[in-house]
C-alpha cells in the first residue's frame, strides 16, 4: 500500500506558528491535523520529533513539496 506523510510549519497572521500533519494513501485525500503554537521553536520541536518517529517506522524523506517562502514542508513515503 503506497502511503504518504507530510509535515508543514506555517506562520499565522497573529505571529504564532502552526504545524500541519497530513497523511494517507497516495492518490486519496487522506487526513490532516493542525497543532497551534505560540512560537515557531515549539512547532519545530514537534516537527523534528514526528519526523524522527516516521523515519524509525520506515518512512524516508523526499524532496520538499509545496514549499513557499514562509513555510517548511517535508513529504515522506515508506521505503
| Tens-place pLDDT, residues 26-67 | 899 999 999 999 999 999 999 999 999 999 998 888 766 655
* Separation CA 24–CA 37 (nearest Å): 24
Quote the pTM value: 0.75
Residue 74 has pLDDT above 90, yes or no: no
Locate the domains of the chain by residue range: 3-78
All residues at 6 or more sequence positions from 1 whose CB lies less than 8 Å from its CB, including other chains: 25
Residue 77 has pLDDT above 70, yes or no: no
- Taking Cα atoms as reference points, which of 52, 51, 17 lies closest to residue 34? 17
What's residue 59's pLDDT?
A: 87
CATH number for the region 3-78 comes to 2.20.140
State the cell numbers at 60: 524516508
What's residue 56's pLDDT?
A: 92
What's residue 61's pLDDT?
A: 82
Amino acid at each position: 500500500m503506497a502511503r504518504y506523510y507530510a509535515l508543514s510549519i506555517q506562520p499565522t497572521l497573529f505571529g504564532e506558528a502552526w504545524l500541519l500533519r497530513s497523511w494517507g494513501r497516495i492518490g486519496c485525500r487522506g487526513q490532516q491535523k493542525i497543532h497551534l503554537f505560540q512560537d515557531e521553536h515549539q512547532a519545530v520541536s514537534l516537527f523534528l520529533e514526528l519526523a524522527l518517529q516516521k523515519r524509525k517506522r520506515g518512512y524516508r524523506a523526499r524532496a520538499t513539496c509545496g514549499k513557499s517562502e514562509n513555510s517548511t514542508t517535508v513529504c515522506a513515503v515508506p521505503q
